[in-house]
Amino acid sequence: MNERVSVIETSPGVRPVDHPPARSGRIGVLLMNLGTPEGTSYWPMRRYLKEFLSDRRVIETPRLLWWPILNLIILTKRPGPKGRDYATIWNNERDEGPLKTITRNQAEKVTAHLKSIAGDKITVDWAMRYGKPEVRERIQALLDQGCDRILLVPLYPQYAAATSATACDQAFRALMDMRWQPTVRVSPPYHDDPVYIESVVASMKQELAKLTFEPEVILVSFHGVPKEYLLKGDPYHCQCVKTWRLMREAFGWPADKFRMSFQSRFGTAEWLQPYTDKTVEALAKSGVKRMAIVAPGFSADCLETLEELDGENREIFMHNGGEQFAYLPCLNDSDEGMRVINHIVERELQGWI
């Protein structure tokens, strides 16, 4: 009798009455993006900047030098101006940054797409590396829903230690505290994926068709990183250049009319060049009257695209002799944007669904 009970209790699908709750074999997908402050006033901005600029992946300056600069200068002076910049692009209806709105929409659309091909066995969620919703919290939420396999999807086409790697770091920190870790996959960068290149170019053509002018030059702007990171072996620069080359070939424009640059530099160190703001200024001064900017390294519009490119760089161009300027939106949750994300997710779930 005892032997028979033992067999029953260890048979698949049969657990003793005192067995702790166990996960049920679902699959989770977690979309991860950079982050956004919880508000535009001083203290939410300060909290966000502190978390972001304290990350050793982002700022590699020795802590002994960086700590007083960050805490005594930057976190005292920058929250106010940065908050005002965020206020110009803020989604007042939802009281959140556009990056959060768009990433949520992307997750909802991936959910609908996967449901059409895999039923209800997959749960899609989203998280931010800095700010909320937190990566740890959303991984736990997936576990609580029975996901014992999780696909992490950093929404960065080009890999950089300061973006893709730090997002994964945050996920791995959460896993380190778990007794029963889920099986995890990480989707790779997709800087040269044909679907991504085709979608970016198709989106650009759609946006250009809406303009009342034809640009003389299109500038492809990527987020910058310190040049030192490239010299230490970060592949980001090379992947950006390849994306630009493939876009140019697909678009069919010569290199002098289809240029690339790097934006958002910070501090006094040399960053990847050419710089976007200096390039825009030089183009205007050289006699270019009509130009457009696109930022294919961002999967969703945010401060660096809406305020910096469409705001600051538009002003630079017009102030230096330019006449017509257009910012071409990111893929966001458009049909072309979702084509890319759905493609990446489906590909990386092979063998699980």
What distances in angstroms separate CA 64 from CA 70, 146, 287, one per listed residue? 11, 44, 47
Bind-site residues for Fe(2+): 223, 304
Kindly compute the dihedral angle of the four CA atoms of residues 176, 51, 302, 333, in this order, to the nearest 10 degrees.
20
Predicted local confidence at residue 23, as pLDDT = 66
> Chain centroid to CA 320: how far?
32
How many other CB atoms are found less than 10 A from the CB of residue 270?
11
List of E strands, the chain: 26-36, 122-131, 147-154, 183-186, 217-223, 258-263, 290-294, 324-328
CA distance 59 to 65: 11
What is the per-residue pLDDT for 9?
Answer: 41
CA-based torsion, 95, 100, 104, 105: positive or negative: positive
Does the 32-189+336-348 domain belong in CATH 3.40.50.1400? yes
For the record, the structure tokens of 214 come out as 């034809």
| CATH number, span 194-328 | 3.40.50.1400
The percentage of residues in the chain with a pLDDT greater than 90, rounded to a whole number, is 90
SS3 219: strand
Residue 310 tokens read as: 């469409």
Query: Quick one: how far is CA 351 from the chain centroid?
Result: 26
Residue 25 banded pLDDT, cuts 50, 70, 90: confident
Bridge partners (DSSP) of residue 250 are none
Cβ–Cβ under 8 Å, residues 86 and 97: yes
Q: Where are the domains of the chain?
A: 32-189+336-348, 194-328
Phi, psi of 154 (to 5 degrees): -65, 125
Where do the H-state alpha helices sit in 210-351?
227-231, 236-251, 276-285, 314-319, 335-348
The two three-digit tokens of residue 317, written as one number? 């161009």
Sheet hosting strand 122-131, strand order edge to edge: 122-131, 26-36, 147-154, 183-186
Region 162-182: mean pLDDT is: 96
Q: What is the dihedral of CA 47, 48, 54, 56, to 10 degrees?
A: 160
Average pLDDT over every residue of 327-340 = 98
pLDDT tens per residue across span 108-136: 999 999 999 988 999 999 999 999 999 99
Q: How confident is the prediction for the chain on average, in pLDDT?
A: 94
**pTM for this one?**
0.92
Q: Which residues are annotated as a binding site?
A: 223, 304
List the structure tokens of 46. Answer: 């300060």
Question: Cα angle vertex 195, ends 190, 198, to 5°?
Answer: 115
Predicted confidence band at 24 (pLDDT cuts at 50, 70, 90)? confident
pLDDT value for 17? 76
What are the structure tokens assigned to 17, written together? 């009455």
